[in-house]
Amino acid sequence: MEEVVAKLAFYEADWDALMVKYEAAYPSEAASLKKWIDNAYVGEILESDGFFDYDGAKASRVSSFEVINKLAKIMPNLIGGSADLSPSTKTLMRQKRFYG
């Protein structure tokens, strides 16, 4: 068990050193990554006006589309998709367009 703990401590120290370099080179991106790692977006989601507002019954894919797009506005590094089925499954994020 001590071996495992020592190895994990080594990896954590390596990660911490890498993050210090990353923060120095890319402060804005590092802040966003830290926010993601610390799960800080949850507070923004819970406090977001209208996030939990829905207007009546609808198909689950429509509700999913609405939630995905509400989340994408709050969480800039949210990713997802379903290849060429995005339009029919409504997994496309309005403000994000990626073409291969």
DSSP string, 16-73: HHHHHHHHHH-HHHHHHHHHHHTTTHHHHHHHSTTTT---S---HHHHHHHHHHHHHH
pLDDT at 100: 44
pLDDT at 5: 92
- Cα 14 from Cα 35, distance rounded (Å): 20
34: number of Cβ within 10 Å:
13
User: Residue 40: CB partners within 8 Å, gap ≥ 6?
Assistant: 34
pLDDT at 49: 85
Query: What pTM was computed for the model?
Result: 0.65
pLDDT at 82: 76
Residue 61 reports pLDDT greater than 90: no
Mean pLDDT in residue range 59-69: 87
